């Protein structure tokens, strides 16, 4: 059970036997937010899927006890606190903040955006404010295409979208002052609120960028005019050779039969385990070297093709990458260090007051049980101790794009 305070934020997280016990543990640490003259007027709340069935009771309790009416959040298979991550157990993580009046607007007001266009009070707020940041949570089970919905929202507001998709083995709820589902929910923040954000891919590129020269939906048939399977084998041999100090020609690969969803690599020769190799699709319109990581879901050794979890087009660029504990932590540390340096040079100081961290559920359930905590340790080491909450998502959102395997940190100043 932890609580961290700054001049404008206070965060608290805890686990417990059930929703009542867990809620009490969290609220006991939010003493200032329980005072009648509390300055806090906004809350972020993340509830583990073990407590999803009690989400209505939880949000009603927090609104009643804290007298804070404005809340956004989500259900997650794990939640993140300022000092600890909680996976596969009943847990709640909360951060309350003191924002200038009129500087934010929770949407939707009715629990349903309909055509994903805000109505009434939300439209009025947008008419009078320019959202610098839109913090969103999405329902992965929605009938609407989340990528298109996010883009529509970005076009509507002109703001920067950041957030995450609900992950749950139970109900897939989002929170926007009430319990919502089957939509995109969140809050607009005006330019009165200073923020900064960064994306950690958690992957290490192991090849140069290649061009997709023939494809069919999510099946890549040619890369640079060659069979993708052949290209991948060459990349893996070269990578293994670097690690083992051997000639690439002496490295052999051992792939599963073509009818299997994934491939395995002979660990004795490759030093890589199942599921660590991915494809990154280049974002050509990005101002940084950015890419969307997608799973390799099938290999046809006879045809030489590779299937991934995303439709592609001829002419797109792709890169092969490796993801494991080491790459996750190294990339996160590098991205946070760069973020801190950029802000310090631009502002002459670095004093964030609060943070939201959204990480991929695959990172939260890495091979070692305590690996999830290491992400927080890295944040504390680079950014410093500060109020923080978040969750492990089923897809991470940054700049209206839906990522996978990433960690996204948003800082409030």
Which two tokens mark 115? 């055509």
Strand partners, 306: 220, 299
> How far is the C-alpha of 353 from the C-alpha of 363, rounded, in Å?
25
pLDDT at 114: 43
pLDDT at 263: 38
CA 328 to chain centroid, in Å, comes to 13
Residue showing tokens 């909450």? 389
pLDDT in tens, the chain (413 residues): 567 888 899 999 999 999 999 999 999 988 777 777 789 999 999 999 999 999 999 999 999 999 999 999 999 999 999 888 999 899 999 999 999 999 999 998 554 444 444 467 888 899 899 899 999 999 999 888 888 889 888 988 888 999 999 999 999 999 999 999 888 999 999 999 999 999 999 888 999 999 999 999 999 999 999 999 999 988 988 887 776 666 655 555 554 444 443 334 444 334 333 468 999 998 865 545 678 889 899 999 889 999 999 999 999 999 999 988 888 999 999 999 999 999 999 999 999 999 999 999 988 776 444 554 489 999 999 999 999 999 999 999 999 999 988 999 999 99
> How far is the C-alpha of 214 from the C-alpha of 228, rounded, in Å?
10
167: left (phi over 0), alpha (psi -120 to 50) or beta: beta
> How far is the C-alpha of 240 from the C-alpha of 81, rounded, in Å?
37
CA angle 291, 292, 296 (to 5 degrees): 120
- Residue by residue, DSSP assigns 348-405 as S-----EEEEEEEHHHHT-SSTTHHHHHHHHHHHHT-S--EEEEEESSEEETTEEESS
Which two tokens mark 302? 């006879």
Asked if residue 394 lies in contact with residue 165, where contact means CB atoms within 8 angstroms, the answer is yes
**pLDDT tens track for 172-226:** 999 999 999 888 999 999 999 999 999 999 888 999 999 999 999 999 999 999 9
pLDDT at 374: 82
CA 160 to chain centroid, in Å, comes to 15
């Amino acid at each position: 059970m932890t609580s961290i305070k700054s001049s404008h934020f206070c965060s608290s997280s805890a686990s417990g036997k059930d929703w009542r016990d867990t809620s009490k543990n969290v609220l006991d640490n939010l003493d200032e937010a329980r005072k009648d003259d509390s300055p806090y007027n906004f809350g972020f709340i993340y509830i583990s899927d073990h407590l999803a069935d009690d989400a209505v009771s939880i949000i009603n309790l927090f609104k009643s006890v804290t007298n804070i009416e404005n809340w956004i959040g989500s259900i997650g298979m794990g939640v993140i606190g300022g000092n600890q991550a909680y996976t596969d157990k009943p847990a709640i993580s909360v951060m309350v903040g003191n924002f200038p009046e009129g500087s934010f607007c929770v949407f939707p007001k009715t629990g349903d955006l309909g055509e994903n266009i805000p109505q009434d009070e939300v439209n009025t707020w947008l008419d009078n404010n320019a959202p610098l940041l839109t913090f969103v949570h999405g329902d992965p089970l929605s009938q609407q295409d989340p990528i298109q919905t996010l883009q529509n929202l970005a076009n509507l507001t002109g703001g920067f979208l950041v957030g995450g998709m609900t992950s749950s083995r139970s109900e897939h709820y989002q929170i926007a002052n009430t319990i919502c589902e089957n939509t995109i929910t969140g809050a607009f923040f005006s330019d009165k609120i200073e923020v900064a954000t960064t994306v950690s891919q958690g992957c290490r590129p192991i090849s140069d960028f290649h061009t997709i020269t023939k494809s069919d939906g999510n099946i890549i048939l040619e890369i640079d005019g060659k069979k993708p399977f052949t290209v991948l084998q060459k990349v893996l041999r070269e990578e293994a050779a670097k690690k083992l100090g051997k000639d690439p020609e002496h490295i052999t690969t051992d792939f599963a039969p073509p009818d299997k969803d994934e491939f395995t690599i002979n660990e004795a020769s490759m030093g890589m385990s199942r599921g660590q190799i991915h494809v990154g699709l280049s974002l050509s319109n990005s101002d940084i070297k950015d890419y969307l990581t997608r799973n390799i879901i099938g290999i046809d050794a006879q045809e030489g093709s590779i299937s991934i979890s995303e439709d592609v087009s001829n002419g797109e660029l792709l890169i092969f990458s490796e993801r494991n504990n080491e790459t996750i932590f190294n990339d996160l540390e590098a991205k946070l260090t760069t973020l801190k340096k950029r802000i310090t040079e631009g502002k002459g100081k670095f004093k964030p007051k609060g943070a939201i961290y959204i990480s991929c559920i695959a990172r939260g359930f890495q091979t070692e049980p305590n690996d999830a905590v290491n992400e927080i340790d890295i944040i504390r080491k680079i950014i410093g101790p500060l109020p923080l909450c978040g969750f492990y998502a089923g897809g991470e959102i940054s700049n209206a794009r839906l990522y996978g395997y990433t960690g996204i940190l948003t800082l409030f100043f």
